């Protein structure tokens, strides 16, 4: 490998991948906050307010350059950096790699959940509605509001409800745990080096026996209560709210969902 040993290559690559994953996180956090605020506001304003908020959010990221640069590129880099980092750490070498976070940790488990569900979500909510073939006929951005989500919740209530809920919960947990990691690594880096901080984070990932809850449990419980619960109740409000859309538009919505095997089965 151009005179570079595997051990040296891995030692150089792992910090780069770590920094890359961390650098792309703020872009995804902003998108997540904008994206989840819309269904949360359905609690007070129904589908109308949720759709208005969604349209405002699209001004930030859904443009010709904004979407690929502010969303899809950071998302791809963030995910690939994490995957490559774990793969490099698993390959045997003369020197042991830094200890990896267990798959059962909230940060890793939420990342796996997002990795499994996000492709279907992006395809059904972004790619398939834009197909020009009948009966979809390119559902435009102006037509693609929360009536689309309501159609999914009405037609496939359990399937759609569970997918939306899992995405919201995993997204909130991943954002909060990731923010905690970044805060610990970079805000306190002046007094402790990264390796020591990583070791401390690994040590605190296992709950200790005590009279109270583990700090991580408290943090996640608070995040779910303040971040995910309003989204879930907002989705319920959308599901029970009457929809006022033309039958042909509802049929185009359903056709977009049926492009995915997840919605075609059963």
> Band of the pLDDT at 1, cuts 50, 70, 90?
very low
Average pLDDT over residues 81-98: 79
Domain count, the chain: 1
Question: Tokens at residue 176, please?
Answer: 């909060």
Residue 84 pLDDT > 80, yes or no? yes
Q: Is residue 1 part of a domain?
A: no
**What pLDDT, on a 0 to 100 scale, did the predictor assign at position 94?**
62
How far apart are alpha carbons 232 and 225 in whole angstroms?
Answer: 10
N- to C-terminal Cα distance for the chain?
51
Q: What is the CATH number of the domain that holds 214?
A: 1.20.1300
Task: Give the dihedral sign, CA 235/239/242/244.
Answer: positive
pLDDT of residue 194: 55
What's the mean pLDDT in 69-91? 92
Q: With contact defined as beta carbons under 8 Å apart, do 30 and 66 qualify?
A: no
150 CB-side CA count, 13 A = 23
**121: confidence class by pLDDT, cuts 50, 70, 90:** very high
pTM beyond 0.85: yes
Over residues 241-265, mean pLDDT: 95
* Domain containing residue 117: 6-264
Question: Is residue 192 one of the residues assigned to a domain?
Answer: yes
Round the average pLDDT of the chain to a whole number and report it.
88
**Interval 171-219: pLDDT, tens:** 999 999 999 999 888 876 555 555 555 555 555 555 555 556 788 899 9
């Amino acid at each position: 490998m151009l005179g570079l040993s595997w051990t040296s290559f891995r030692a150089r690559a792992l910090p780069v991948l770590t920094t890359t994953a961390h650098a792309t996180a703020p872009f995804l956090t902003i998108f997540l906050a904008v994206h989840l605020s819309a269904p949360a506001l359905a609690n007070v304003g129904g589908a109308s307010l949720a759709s208005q908020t969604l349209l405002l959010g699209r001004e930030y990221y859904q443009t010709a350059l904004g979407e690929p640069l502010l969303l899809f590129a950071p998302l791809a880099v963030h995910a690939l950096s994490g995957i490559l980092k774990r793969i490099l750490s698993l390959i045997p070498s003369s020197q042991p790699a830094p200890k990896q976070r267990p798959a059962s940790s909230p940060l890793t488990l939420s990342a796996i959940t997002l990795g499994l569900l996000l492709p279907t979500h992006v395809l059904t909510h972004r790619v398939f509605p834009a197909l020009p073939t009948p009966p979809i006929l390119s559902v435009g951005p102006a037509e693609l509001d929360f009536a689309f989500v309501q159609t999914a919740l009405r037609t496939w209530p359990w399937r759609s409800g569970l997918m939306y809920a899992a995405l919201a919960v995993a997204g909130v947990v991943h954002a909060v745990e990731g923010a905690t990691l970044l805060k610990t690594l970079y805000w306190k880096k002046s007094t402790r080096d990264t390796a020591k901080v990583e070791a401390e984070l690994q040590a605190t990932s296992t709950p200790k026996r005590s009279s109270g809850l583990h700090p991580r449990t408290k943090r996640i419980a608070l995040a779910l209560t303040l971040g995910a619960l309003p989204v879930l109740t907002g989705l319920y409000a959308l599901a029970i709210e009457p929809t006022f859309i033309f039958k042909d538009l509802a049929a185009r919505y359903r056709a977009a969902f049926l492009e995915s095997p997840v919605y075609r089965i059963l």
